[in-house]
Structure 1
Amino acid sequence: MSSYDDAKERPEHITNILNGLDRYNPETTTIFQDYVAYQCEYDTYDCYANLALLKLYQFNPHLARDETITNILVKALTVFPSSDFSLCCHLLPPNLLTPTPNTQASDLAEAVQKLTGLNSLLESCQFKEFWNTLDSDDLYADLIADVSGFEDTIRTRIAGVTNSSMREVTRELLEGFLNLTDDKFDTFVKETAGWSIEGDVITIPINKDNEAKPTITRESVKFDQFSRQIRRAYEQPA
């Protein structure tokens, strides 16, 4: 997945809107909505543009589209462990985020709450539970249906987290992380992740994140910084 956070590949007309006053113009809502659909279809991602659209929805709730909101949240899931999902949620109405007791939740509120649950599982590295939850309800399949390559992208992100935190992992545990088995698992581990399989253990090459190194912190503190405190310690009380 490519990211437009650096604005190098963002379409020019989107860049012009984001850099000008038109980003607050309700008439640009349809342009941003089409752009979200483009991101879903072509496996790209532009958090800045998506946040701008959610901000427009805040000011113009009558223009909001449930499908677009859920697609933005699903796309934000695919870039964990970043904080994009939380940023998007901060621009949503509170009633969509928290279940209201004794009240029938709207379809959008239910969708947002389910996606929030998935995000919590990813953030807490409960990857096997994430896949189990994703497969537990047909509503999840409907929510991610528009986002091309969702599952493969999530697997790649999980592999990235694993790559930065482990040196070795058992096959059984990693199969649960990736929701893959047999040949599909072997292919992903060797060709996509670039790791080696030795029996029931997957070995992850040393990198700057998973290599344990002692860290020595040196602080330079000058004596005169404490002169005032030392002087007060010898002062006679009034």
Structure 2
Amino acid sequence: MGREQTQSQMSYTVEQLVAVNPYNPDILPDLENYVNEQVSSQTYSLDANLCLLRLYQFEPERMSTQIVARILIKALMAMPAPDFSLCLFLIPERVQMDEQFKTLIVLSHYLETAKFRQFWDEAAKNHHILEVVPGFEQAIQQYAVHVLSLTYQKVPRSVVAEAINIEGVSLDKFIEQHVTNSGWIVEGKGELVSLPKNEFNHPELRRTNGAKSIPLDRIARIFPVLG
């Protein structure tokens, strides 16, 4: 209970500091501590992290590359949100040339282009960079499942295994969990997974939803404004 109160109080304090005076360099240590708190408690605050990166722009001599790396890793874990790009925009190019940041940029590219095999291979080579942030693998697996659900109606078991970097019994348990909680259906003696319908893997749903969400009378009212 005491730890929960401490975390809640820190979150409240940092949010207040960011809201009241986001460009005050005196809050820099609090924001750095909050990054470490996000790592240890597996929470996330993009606003606080962006505020810290902006302060580093004004106080470059106070920049902690360790803290910046943790911010970027947390941002990768937030995909498909564009947080990584937002954070990277605030980091000077000379800093981005650091080897660990070049690695994180490569990993980001692999995720954005759904090259999961290359991503996991690169991540394995740089485990020492990523292991400092708990929950990283699970967050990327969740993102991979999100991408698969948008891409496939039915996906081979081997593709699932490659995307989430799990095989054997662990893969069986992962699939069973999603059968129970996410509506997956296993077919073809376990070699094929049918994914729930959505407007991306079933285009006909997009047309139906689109017609409902933008009635013709609303479109007609837009034309005079555009003209």
TM-score grouping bracket, smaller chain normalisation: 0.7 to 0.9
C-alpha deviation, 1:144, in angstroms: 1.1
Residues 118-137 of structure 1 show CA distances to partners (whole Å, capped at 9, x for unaligned) of: 000000011111101111x2
Match of 2:69 in 1: 70
Is contact 1:70-1:112 (8 Å) kept?
yes
CA RMSD of aligned residues (A): 2.5
Q: Percent identity?
A: 27
CA change 1:222–1:180 in 2 (3 A) is: closer
The aligned runs of 1:1-238 (5 Å cut-off) are 11-21=11-21, 23-97=22-96, 99=97, 109-135=98-124, 137=125, 140-192=126-178, 194=182, 195-198=184-187, 199=189, 200-213=191-204, 215=207, 220=220
SS class of match (1:44): coil
**Count of matched residue positions in the alignment of Structure 1 and Structure 2:** 204
State the AA in 1 paired with 2:153. R
- The 2-side partners of 1:131 and 1:9 are apart by 37
Q: Which runs of 5+ in 1 are unaligned?
A: 1-7, 100-108, 226-238
C-alpha deviation, 1:32, in angstroms: 0.7
State the AA in 2 paired with 1:77. L
Q: What TM-score comes out, normalization by structure 1 length? A: 0.78
C-alpha deviation, 1:162, in angstroms: 1.4
Residues 42-83 of structure 1 show CA distances to partners (whole Å, capped at 9, x for unaligned) of: 111111100000011110011111110000000000011211
CA change 1:62–1:205 in 2 (3 A) is: same
For the pair shown, which has the larger CA radius of gyration, 1 or 2? 1
Is contact 1:190-1:196 (8 Å) kept?
no
Is contact 1:167-1:206 (8 Å) kept?
yes
C-alpha deviation, 1:211, in angstroms: 2.5
Residues 95-142 of structure 1 show CA distances to partners (whole Å, capped at 9, x for unaligned) of: 233x5xxxxxxxxx111111000000000011111101111x2xx212
State the AA in 1 paired with 2:31. F
- The 2-side partners of 1:16 and 1:95 are apart by 32
State the AA in 2 paired with 1:156. Q
- The 1-side partners of 2:224 and 2:131 are apart by 65
SS class of match (1:41): helix
- The 1-side partners of 2:129 and 2:104 are apart by 9
Is contact 1:111-1:143 (8 Å) kept?
yes
Q: What TM-score comes out, normalization by structure 2 length? A: 0.81
Is contact 1:167-1:205 (8 Å) kept?
yes
Is contact 2:42-2:134 (8 Å) kept?
yes
Q: Which runs of 5+ in 2 are unaligned?
A: 1-7
State the AA in 1 paired with 2:87. C
CA change 1:150–1:222 in 2 (3 A) is: closer
